[in-house]
Amino acid sequence: MQVSSIISLIGGIALFLFGMSLMGDGLKKVAGNKLELILYRLSDTPLKGVLLGTGVTAVIQSSCATSVMTVGFVNSGMMKVRQAVSVILGAILGTSITGWIICLSYIGSSGIGSILSTATLTSVAAAAGIGLRMASKKQSLIHAGDILMGFAVLMFGMSAMSGAVSSLGDSPFFRNLLTSLSNPILGILIGTVFTAVLQSASAAVGILQALSATGAMSFSAALPLLMGVAVGAAAPVLLSAVGANTEGRRAALVYPVSALVSSLACAAVFYIADAIVVFPFRNTIMNPFTLAAVNTALRLSMTLILAPFTDVIEAVVTQLVPAKTNPEEDPALRLEERFIHHPSIAVEQSRLTIDNMARITEEELGEAMALLKGYSEEGFNAVKEKESAVDRYEDALGTYLVKLTGQELTERQNKDVSTFLHTISDFERISDHGLNIAESAAEIRQKGVVFSAEAVHELDVVSRAVEEIVSLTFGAFTENDTERATRVEPLEEWIDTLCDELKLNHVERLQHGQCTILQGFVFNDLLTDFERISDHCSNIAVAMIELEADLFDTHEYLSQVKEKRSADFERIYEDCRARFAL
C-alpha cells in the first residue's frame, strides 16, 4: 500500500468521523434537543429501555454517545443502574444503522443507478445543505442543512476510504492476512484493539465495508472482526467512569460486560454449531451490503441473548464495583458537567436537584418548628445539617445554571432557568430562617424562657399559617402549578398582618407586666423569622407567575395585586383570615 493511499485512508476516516458527528448533532437539534430527555423519562421498563436506546442511537449515530449519556444519568442520580442496562443493550443494536447508511456510498453508477450514485447523492446533499445554511434564517432549517452537509461529508469520506484500499484486493499479502483473521480469537482481538484506537464502532464498520468492497474478505474473516468491533466500542464508555461515583462506575461497566459476554456467547454458539454442521456460507465473499446485514444480525443476537438477564448484568457490575461509603458523596447534588451541552437534560437535572433542595428545606423547617414544642440536641443538629446541605445546593446550582445560560436554549428552557436562578436564593434564605428558629428554641431551653398562655396560643396560630404557606409554595413549585402559586400572596399578606398584630399584643403584655424583656426578644425574633419566611415564599410564587407571563417585575406585580384586589384574592384572603384567626 503506497504512502499516498495511506494518507487518503486517514483523510477519509477523518472526514467520515466529522460527517457522522455533524449529521448526528443536526438530527438531535432538529428533534428539538429532546431525545436525551425522552431517553431519561421513558426508560422505566427493560423493553422501553432497549427500544429507546436503539432509537436514540440510530438518530445520533453513536452507541458511545448514548451510553456515556446514560452513565451521566446514573452518576447524577437521575437513573438507576437497572434502567441503564436495557438502554445500553439498545445502544449496542442501534449503532448498526450506520452500516446501512454507508451502503448508500456503494450504489452503482451505471444505468438507472447513476441517478442514485455516490457522486450524485453527495453532490445533491452538499448543495442542498449549503443552500439551507446560507439562505435560511429559521434554526430548524439551518440544522437540517447541517444534517445534509454531514451526510455529504460522510459519503465523501467513505469514498476516499474505498478508493484508498481498492488496490488491496489484488495483494496476496492482504488476502493472506484476511484469511488468518478467520481464527476467531485473533479476529476478535484485532477488531477490539482496532475499534478502541478509533474510538468509534461506526468508523470501524465503515472501514471493514471499504475493505469488503475489494472482494477479498470472506464471512469467516468478517464475523470475528465484527465481534471485536462490538467489544472495542466499550473503550470510550469506560473513560466516562473517570471521576464518577460508585453508581456511575457500575453503569460504565455495563457496556463492556454486555458486549464481551454477548460476543463470546454468539461466538460459542456459532463455532460449535459450525463444527457440527459445517455452514456452507463460511467462505462467502462479503460486500458492503452483506457486511451491514451480518453486523445487524450479530448485534440483534447480542441484544436478544442479554435482554432477559438485565438483573444478572446489574448484579455482576455491582459485584465488580463494590459500594464505598463516602459521607461527602451526595448523588442528588452531582450536577453533571457533561450535560451542559444537552440543555434539555441539564434543565431537567437542575429541576430535580432544586426539588430535592426544596424537600430538604421543608423538612428542616418542620423539624425547627417541632423544637419549639419539644427541644432536643439531636433535632437541633439535624436542622444544622440540613441547613448546611441547602447551602451546598445553592452554591452548586448557581454555578451550574450560570454555565447553562451560555448554551443555546429554547424559550421554555430560558424560562425554567430564569425561574431557578430567581428562586434558589429564596430556598436558601428560608433554610437560614429555619436555623434561626432552631436557635431560638435552643435559647428558650437554655434560659428557661416560659411564654404566657396567650403568647403560646399566638405562636401556635402563626406557626400553622407559616407551615401552610411553605407547603403551598413548595408544592406549587415542584409541580409547576401556577394556579396554586396565585394562592400564596393572599396568605402571605395575612401572615404579615398577623405578625404586626402579635407584636402589638406583645407590647401590651410588656406594659402590663405579663411578659419580660427576655421573653420579648425571643418572641420578636420568632415573628421576624416567620414573616421573612412568608416573604420568600411570596418571591418564589411571584417568580413562577411572572416568568410564565414573559415579564419579571416583582414590585410591579405585587403592587398590582395589593392595589387591585380581585374577587379571588379577597376570597382566599378571607379564608386564610378565618382559618388562622386569634
* Whether residue 495 sits in one domain with residue 429: yes
- Specify whether 525 is located in the same domain as 473: yes
Specify if 325 maps to a domain.
no
CA atoms lying within 13 Å on the CB side of residue 193 = 5
Q: What per-residue string of b and e applies to 558-576 under the rule 16 or more CB within 10 Å gives b?
A: beebeeeeeeebeebbeeb
Pairwise CA distance, residues 273 & 279, whole Å: 8
- For residue 553, give the 3-state DSSP assignment: coil
* 42: helix, strand or coil: coil
In a shared domain, residues 441 and 371: yes
**Considering the domain boundaries, does residue 174 fall inside one?**
yes
- 87, burial (CB in 10 Å: exposed 0-12, middle 13-18, buried 19+): buried
Beta-carbon contacts of residue 298 (< 8 Å; ≥ 6 apart): 223, 226, 227, 230, 266
Same domain for 175 and 145: yes
Average pLDDT rounded to a whole number, residues 45-57 = 83
> For the domain that residue 422 is a member of, what is the CATH number?
1.20.58.220
Task: Report the range of poorest mean pLDDT among 296-300, 378-382, 409-413, 435-439.
Answer: 409-413
Number of domains in the chain: 2
Instruction: Report which of residues 212 and 382 the model is more confident about.
Output: 382
Which pLDDT score is estimated for 7? 81
Q: What grid cell was written down for 409? A: 436554549
* CA atoms of 468 and 462, how far apart (whole Å): 10
pLDDT classification of 111: cutoffs 50, 70, 90: very low
Does 170 map to a domain? yes
Residue showing cell 432538529: 30
Pick from 56, 48, 133, 136: nearest CA to 93: 56
| Domain match, 291 and 235 both | yes
Same domain? 300 vs 350: no
137 and 254 fall within a common domain: yes
Ramachandran category for residue 550: left, alpha or beta (phi over 0 → left; psi -120 to 50 → alpha) = left
Match 419580660 to its residue by C-alpha cell. 516
**Last residue in a domain, options 266, 288, 320:** 320
250: in domain: yes
C-alpha count within 13 angstroms, C-beta hemisphere, residue 453 = 0
- CA 312 to chain centroid, in Å, comes to 25
| Tens-digit pLDDT profile for residues 223-253 | 898 998 888 888 888 877 776 778 888 888 9
Residue 326 lies in a domain: no
12 assigned to some structural domain: yes
Q: How many CA atoms lie within 13 A of 44 on its CB side?
A: 2
Q: What is the pLDDT of residue 467?
A: 92
Q: What's the full length of the chain, in residues?
A: 582
447 or 534: which leads in pLDDT = 534
Per-residue pLDDT at 341:
77
Instruction: List the Cα angle 341/347/353 in 5-degree steps.
Output: 120
Instruction: Name the domain boundary from 320, 349, 378.
Output: 320
**What's the pLDDT tens digit per position in 163-183?**
676 665 556 665 666 666 678
Burial of 482 (0-12, 13-18, 19+ CB in 10 A): middle
Q: Is the pLDDT of residue 112 over 50?
A: no
Mean pLDDT of 459-475: 92
Among 184-188, 428-432, 509-513, 520-524, top mean pLDDT goes to 428-432
The string of pLDDT tens digits covering residues 377-424 is: 999 999 999 999 999 899 989 989 998 888 878 788 888 888 898 899
Average pLDDT over residues 497-509: 84
pTM: 0.68
Query: What pLDDT band is residue 560 in, cutting at 50, 70 and 90?
Result: low
Write b or e for each residue in 384-407: b if 16 or more Cβ atoms lie within 10 A of its Cβ, otherwise e: eebbebbeebbebbeebbeebeee
Tell me how far apart the 2 most distant CA atoms of the chain are, in Å.
112
Rounded distance, CA 296 to CA 498, Å? 71
117 vs 111: CA distance, rounded Å? 10
Distance CA 450, CA 268 (A): 80
DSSP 375: -
Helix or strand or coil: residue 185? helix
From CA 561, how far away is CA 453, in angstroms rounded? 36
Q: Specify the residue for cell string 450524485.
A: 120
Rounded CA separation 63/202 (Å) = 9
Are 420 and 541 found together in one domain? yes
Write out the residue range of the structural domain in which residue 543 sits. 339-579
Q: Can you give the pLDDT at residue 429?
A: 94
Together in a domain, 169 and 258: yes
Q: What is the model's pLDDT at position 113?
A: 47
Dist CA 418 CA 554 (whole Å)? 14
Cell numbers linked to 194:
482496532
> Are 247 and 137 contained in the same domain?
yes
> Do 375 and 452 have their domain in common?
yes
pLDDT of residue 2: 64
Summary mean pLDDT of the chain: 81
- Rounded Cα distance, 19 and 151, in Å: 6
d(CA 261, CA 568): 64
Tell me whether residue 3 is in a domain.
Answer: no
Give pLDDT, residue 564.
57
Q: Looking at 288, 320, 352, which one is the last position of a domain?
A: 320
Same-domain status, 118 and 239: yes
Report residue 109's pLDDT band, with 50, 70 and 90 as the boundaries: very low
* Element containing residue 361 per DSSP (H, E): helix 343-373
Residue 511 covered by a domain:
yes
Q: In this model, does residue 434 exceed pLDDT 90?
A: yes
Give the residue, 353 or 106, on which the prediction is more confident: 353
